[in-house]
């Protein structure tokens, strides 16, 4: 929309004939009116001629103003300045005529100058308006572009986070897969020996006569292999718990704030409003910062996921901390999700129990072991309206053994 203002437009008629015609008819009108007035009042003056000059200059430009001045001067001189009805001027009336001619010229010039000035002013104003419109449009365009870019960046960021989460999940799953294969082999060997020995023992016992010596050897093998299997399990456990948990002073509110910042993106993506209700002046607890952080992340992500199908009510995740009693700090994560089915209530903390399509069923189980290792408890309650609350209680500083 590029509108450029034209040159200052005064709206004076283009045709010279029209301009002269206008001056002529105005002066004629002035003459008629003056004559008419003079029949009533003896000295009428030349007010109508001034008006005609003014109007001509105003409506038809300076050129026609000058024509009107000359015509007026001629008319006045012919009709009103003695000797009347002649173009001669008597000596005593010369100053009057000159005064009239000069003043009408000034009136004409002033009128056309005013008109010109006004036109220029209008032009300047229009020009300014156009410029302002142009700049505004440009700004609006840039603004729209920026908004578009921002939305695009946000989408890209979300896609990136999703891809990252997917990658993490896949990595975790394939690592788990490799580990599971290795564990299953290690455990299957002794189990195979146990089952086969048990069957062999039965066979030897039911032979005629029963071969007690072979049966005994088989049972011996069963006992040995049972121990071997449990050794395998013990080694695996030892492998995973090799890292001795840190024992440091932990401010639980600080931890919650850190975690809330961490999962902000996930919450936003799932249109979940996260609210924190943290009690002031909570005493410190003693424990492993990273492990406790993982527990809170896990509980919050579980809550968010529990609300992924909720559409008929706000998706609200509340995390709160409070003093449960002088010895315990309580942390609760409340969601407005689908809640826990009554039949699942007893199993949610079991390893490998999951209600999610792609869950491993390890989250709550691990969280519970972590909290218990800190001398605390983790449990779930059903909310009075929707969803559930997962909460844990941790002993405060003076009851922990650093």
Partner 1 sequence: MKESDPIVFVVDDDAAVRDAVKRLIASVGLRVEAFGSTHEFLGGKRPDAPACLVLDVRLPDASGLELQRELSVAGIHIPIIFITGHADVPMTVQAMKAGAVEFLTKPFRGQELLDAIQEAIAKDRLAWNERAQMKELRARYDSLTAREKEVLQLVASGLLNKQIGAELGTSELTIKTHRGRVMQKMFAESLADLVRMFERLKPSVVIPKQSGPPSGS
In the complex, which residues of this chain contact partner 1 (CB under 8 A)? Answer: 181, 184-185, 188-200, 202-204, 207, 211, 214, 217-218, 221, 224-225, 228
Smallest gap from residue 194 Cβ to partner 1 (A): 7
* ∠ Cα 167 172 174 (to 5°): 95
Asked if residue 306 lies in contact with residue 270, where contact means CB atoms within 8 angstroms, the answer is no
Give me the phi and psi of 126, to 5 degrees please: -60, -45
Q: Residue 132 or residue 181: which is nearer to partner 1 going by CB?
A: 181
Packed helices 363-373 and 289-306: angle between N→C axes, nearest 10 degrees: 150
Smallest gap from residue 198 Cβ to partner 1 (A): 8
Smallest gap from residue 193 Cβ to partner 1 (A): 4
Smallest gap from residue 286 Cβ to partner 1 (A): 43
* ∠ Cα 172 175 178 (to 5°): 150
Q: Residue 224 or residue 294: which is nearer to partner 1 going by CB?
A: 224
Q: Which helix (H) or strand (E) holds 334?
A: strand 328-335
Q: Residue 214 or residue 344: which is nearer to partner 1 going by CB?
A: 214
Asked if residue 317 lies in contact with residue 307, where contact means CB atoms within 8 angstroms, the answer is yes
Q: Residue 200 or residue 318: which is nearer to partner 1 going by CB?
A: 200
Residue 297 DSSP class: H
* ∠ Cα 260 264 266 (to 5°): 120
Determine the straight-line distance between the first and last CA of the chain, rounded to whole angstroms. 75
Smallest gap from residue 164 Cβ to partner 1 (A): 31
Nearest-CA neighbor of 93 among 111, 107, 79? 79
In whole angstroms, what is the distance from residue 229 CA to residue 195 CA? Answer: 12
Asked if residue 321 lies in contact with residue 296, where contact means CB atoms within 8 angstroms, the answer is no
Smallest gap from residue 298 Cβ to partner 1 (A): 30
Instruction: Calculate Rg over the CA atoms of the chain.
Output: 51
Smallest gap from residue 353 Cβ to partner 1 (A): 23
Q: Residue 176 or residue 273: which is nearer to partner 1 going by CB?
A: 176
In whole angstroms, what is the distance from residue 316 CA to residue 333 CA? Answer: 10
Q: Residue 191 or residue 360: which is nearer to partner 1 going by CB?
A: 191
Q: Residue 147 or residue 223: which is nearer to partner 1 going by CB?
A: 223
């Amino acid at each position: 929309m590029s509108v450029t203002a034209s040159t200052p437009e005064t709206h004076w008629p283009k045709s010279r004939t029209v301009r002269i015609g206008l001056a002529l008819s105005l002066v004629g009108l002035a003459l008629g009116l003056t004559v008419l007035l003079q029949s009533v009042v003896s000295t009428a003056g030349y007010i109508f001629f001034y008006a005609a000059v003014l109007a001509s200059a105003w409506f038809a430009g300076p050129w026609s103003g000058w024509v009107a001045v000359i015509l007026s001067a001629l008319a006045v001189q012919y009709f009103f300045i003695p000797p009347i009805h002649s173009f001669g001027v008597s000596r005593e009336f010369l100053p009057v005529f000159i005064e009239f001619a000069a003043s009408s010229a000034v009136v004409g010039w002033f009128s056309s100058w005013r008109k010109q000035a006004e036109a220029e002013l209008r032009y300047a104003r229009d020009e300014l308006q156009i410029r302002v419109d142009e700049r505004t449009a440009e700004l609006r365009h840039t603004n729209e572009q920026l908004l578009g870019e921002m939305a695009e960046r946000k989408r890209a960021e979300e896609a990136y986070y999703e891809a990252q989460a997917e990658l993490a999940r896949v990595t975790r799953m394939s690592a788990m897969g490799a580990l599971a294969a290795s564990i299953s082999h290690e455990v299957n060997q002794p189990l195979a020996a146990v089952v086969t020995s048990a069957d062999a023992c039965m066979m030897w016992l039911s032979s005629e006569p029963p071969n007690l010596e072979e049966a005994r050897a088989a049972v011996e093998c069963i006992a040995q292999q049972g121990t071997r299997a449990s050794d395998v399990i013990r080694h695996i456990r030892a492998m995973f718990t090799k890292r001795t948990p840190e024992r440091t002073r932990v401010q639980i509110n600080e931890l919650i704030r850190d975690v809330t910042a961490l999962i902000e993106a996930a919450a936003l993506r799932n249109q979940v409003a996260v609210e924190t209700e943290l009690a002031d002046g909570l005493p410190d607890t003693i424990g492993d910062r990273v492990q406790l952080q993982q527990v809170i992340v896990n509980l919050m992500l579980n809550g968010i996921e529990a609300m992924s199908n909720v559409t008929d009510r706000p998706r609200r995740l509340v995390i709160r901390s409070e003093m449960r009693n002088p010895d315990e700090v309580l942390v609760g994560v409340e969601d407005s999700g689908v809640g826990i089915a009554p039949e699942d209530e007893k199993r949610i903390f079991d390893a490998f129990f999951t209600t999610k399509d792609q869950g491993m069923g390890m989250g709550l189980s691990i969280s519970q072991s972590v909290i218990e290792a800190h001398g605390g408890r983790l449990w779930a309650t059903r909310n009075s309206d929707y969803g559930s609350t997962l909460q844990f209680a941790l002993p405060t500083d003076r009851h922990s053994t650093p």
